[in-house]
Amino acid sequence: MAIPEDQLETWTHIGAAAQSATTYQSIKRVIESKEAPYWTKNVDSFLQGSYGNDTNVYGADSDVDIVLRTKAFFHYNIDALSEGEKAAFRATHPNASEYRLANFRDDAIRWLSNQCGGDLDTAGKKALRINANGTRRSSDILLVAPHRKYSRYYSEQDKQCVEGVLFRTTNGTEIVNYPKQHSENMTLKHQNSGDRLKPTVRIFKNMRNRLVRDGKLKPGSAPSYFIEGMLSNVPANQFVKSRQATVENCWGWINDCDDHAGLTCANGIHPLVRDNSHTSWSVQGYIDYLERVRQLWHRWPF
């Protein structure tokens, strides 16, 4: 039997929105302080992840994901340019910045250690973590710089590029992502679907959480980021008034897709499914999630 409509409706509810907003504002005051050693490096911050996209659910997705960006320099990819365009780019940007992400990380750790004391955890591969304390939720702070992928360059006035952000893991791996495009595309699809995309994302996340809780799905195999991306590919007309019909429409459309390799993350740039990629869902993780959702749906309560 299918999962009942009332259970699906419960799963659409957004979790801890007020607390996450309060957490972000309190941390924002710290990380954007004019007293911070990196303040002169043109910094700003913004939310990403489940809280940033209003797809957080109760009892999970508890970390508030914050991006802290310095615009003191930028990374770039000019592989698509002609030799003449590359020469024009290098003539305009001949020197690398002396201030790099490693300096930014050192400055951020020094500042947050002073402000947060023992609540700061620097052990993560990607982000700094501020542990929960009182009403403040735990938060991950990702330190990034702009990244520009150029498809045209003749001058600063005559250029074409896609701008994202780049961060570096503690083992030196550089990862480029596009949080602005992710958020904008999710918002547009949500609006075009009659405001039904984000509640549907919460349903699919709650199904994931149920499967993990019951030992039916490996923890970490179906990240929220990729569930959002998967559903962002579904045409807006598949999201209908009935929650049951919407879930069946979405799962059916994805399962019957002729070109899974052509699906993209919500940013519209990275492939959704690809092995050995930091920015894509592993093939097996994707297959396992779809199969376990099918089983949960037809064998409820599984």
Question: What pLDDT does 36 receive?
Answer: 98
Mapping DSSP onto H, E and C, the string for the chain reads: CCCCHHHHHHHCCCCCHHHHHHHHHHHHHHHCCCCCCCHHHCEEEEEEHHHHCCCCCCCCCCCEEEEEEECCCCEEECCCCCHHHHHHHHHHCCCCCCCCHHHHHHHHHHHHHHHHHHHEECCCCCCEEECCECCECCEEEEEEEEEEEEEEEEECCEEEEEEEEEEECCCCCEEEECHHHHHHHHHHHHHHCCCCHHHHHHHHHHHHHHHHHCCCCCCCCCCHHHHHHHHHCCCHHHCCCCHHHHHHHHHHHHHCCCCHHHCECCCCCCECECCCCCCCECHHHHHHHHHHHHHHHHCCCC
- Identify the band that residue 49 occupies on the pLDDT scale cut at 50, 70 and 90: confident
Please tell me the distance from the alpha carbon of residue 181 to that of residue 229, in angstroms, as a whole number. 12
pTM to 2 decimal places: 0.93
Considering only residues 118 and 243, tell me which one the structure prediction assigns the higher pLDDT: 243
Q: What is the mean pLDDT of residues 263-291?
A: 97
Q: Do the Cβ atoms of 222 and 201 come closer than 8 Å?
A: no
> Distance between CA 6 and CA 12 in Å, rounded?
10
What pLDDT digit, counting tens, does each position of 182-217 carry?
Answer: 999 999 999 999 999 999 999 999 999 999 999 999
What's phi and psi for 276, nearest 5 deg? 60, 40
Side chain identity at 166, as an amino acid letter?
A: L
In percent, the amount of the chain with pLDDT more than 90 equals 87
Percent of the chain having pLDDT more than 70?
98
Average pLDDT over residues 241-256: 97
CA 300/CA 291 separation, integer angstroms: 14
pLDDT for position 252: 96
Is the pLDDT assigned to residue 62 strictly greater than 70? Answer: no
**Residue-range domain boundaries for the chain:** 17-177, 182-298
Cβ 188 vs Cβ 269: under 8 Å: no
| Statement: residue 61 has pLDDT above 70 | no
The confidence score (pLDDT) of residue 18 equals: 76
Q: What's the CA gap between 38 and 36, in Å, rounded?
A: 5
The conformational region for residue 154 under phi > 0 = left, psi -120 to 50 = alpha, else beta, is alpha
The CATH code that applies to domain 17-177 is 3.30.460
